[in-house]
Amino acid sequence: MAASKSLPPSGQQDDHNLAGSGLFAISADGKLQAVDSSGNPFVRCGLESRLLIQGGSHRGAGGNEMPVMSSGDSLPYLSPCPNYRYYFMRDYDRNQPLIAIHIPKSAGTSTRAVFKSWFGGGFREHYFDENKGRMPKRHDLARIQRPDRPVVVYGHFNRRRHFGVEDYYPEVTQFVTILRDPFELVMSSYFFTRKVGRTWKDRSRVPTAKLSEHILSATPNMLNHFPREVTMANYKELIEEYFIDIGTMETLHDSVHRIARKLGMPFEPKMLGHLNATERNESVPASLRDLFVEKNELEYAVYNYVVERFADSAGQA
């Protein structure tokens, strides 16, 4: 935290410039990462609540030691509000394997083609074979990874069905994914599963109830694909500790463009098709959506956090 110069709101309040609050985020190598010179509450809380932090750390969502905006012992900084937690998503390390989580019915089929073009020989898939009831193949990532060929494992990682990240690749620590409004996700999954599920080996997962009944009883098939268990207490930390980026289907082009930038990959809108779309032949009243949102508080907390986090970058990727 540092002071910045600002003018008083009126000459009747003071006759000279005032010291305004400012927040500066500095990386370990001394480079300036972000500046906020404003009257935001988390920047300007009282002096009595400020805390000098030097090389501090906290336990992350996965139990790992994480720095708390520390710039190293030689560059102490003031954290204006100890109760305010700062979050920064991780940088991509091309020398380590990446997992791209395909949440079902969240534009994953369209996005998969883009990732395949990016990673070429380093691209691997991870999908349960529903027709044969066969678990995904386990890949030897240490053998596949090379300095000239980064690796990505792309697919469904459902922990409830025992082919999640921790079941197969607990050592992987960097992820990307695309989310979708949970209500729309459940709607789309309902129609898709009823359409293709007739050839599945296990047909118990194919919904038989009417759409309105299914929506009120279903849990979105979303957070069970995350790399660790998600709770109301840890979801922000988990997102920031493990993910390079999270996009949304509702802003798909901007999201994939942003992911491309972070991975150092090329992107043009024509690379992204509209694949595996499912036709709907039923609708539901708006009141049903309200009940669904109320019932799935955690899923919407995660989805809204991601939407709000990247709202300012929409259209700027």
Q: What is the DSSP string of the chain?
A: -EEEEE--SSTTT-SS-EEEEEEEEE-TTS-EEEEEES--HHHH--GGG-EEESS-EEE-TTS-EEESS---TTS-EEES-TTPPP--PPPP-TTS-EEEE--TTSSHHHHHHHHHHHHGGGEEEE--BTTTTBPPPPP-HHHH-BTTB--EEEE---GGGT-SHHHH-TT---EEEEE--HHHHHHHHHHHHHHHGGG-S-GGGS--S-HHHHHHH---SSGGGSSS---TTTHHHHHHHHEEEEEEGGGHHHHHHHHHHHHT----GGG----S---------HHHHHHHHHH-HHHHHHHHHHHHHTGGGTTT-
Length of the chain measured in residues: 317
Q: What is the dihedral sign for C-alpha 208, 132, 220, 253?
A: negative
Token pair belonging to 19: 């010291």
The rounded distance, in Å, linking the Cα atoms of 55 and 273 is 46
The rounded distance, in Å, linking the Cα atoms of 240 and 87 is 6
pTM of the prediction? 0.72
The rounded distance, in Å, linking the Cα atoms of 88 and 69 is 9
| Domain 98-313 = CATH 3.40.50.300 | yes
Within the chain, which residues score under 70 in pLDDT? Answer: 1-24, 27-31, 33, 35-88, 274-281, 312-317
Specify the pairing of strand 77-79 against strand 2-6.
Answer: unpaired
In this prediction, residue 207 carries a pLDDT of: 85
Question: Do the Cβ atoms of 197 and 46 come closer than 8 Å?
Answer: no
Residue 166 phi, psi dihedral angles, 5° rounding: -70, -25
In this prediction, residue 68 carries a pLDDT of: 44
- Tokens 């049903």 locate to 288
Specify the pairing of strand 152-155 against strand 98-101.
Answer: parallel
In this prediction, residue 48 carries a pLDDT of: 36
How many other β-carbons are positioned within 10 Å of the β-carbon of residue 53?
A: 17
The rounded distance, in Å, linking the Cα atoms of 142 and 123 is 14
In this prediction, residue 85 carries a pLDDT of: 45
Token pair belonging to 310: 């990247």
- Give ranges for CATH 3.40.50.300 in the chain: 98-313
The rounded distance, in Å, linking the Cα atoms of 49 and 42 is 11
CA distance readout (Å), 244 to 37, 238, 275, 305: 27, 11, 25, 15
CA distance readout (Å), 158 to 59, 86, 184, 196, 287: 26, 29, 19, 19, 30
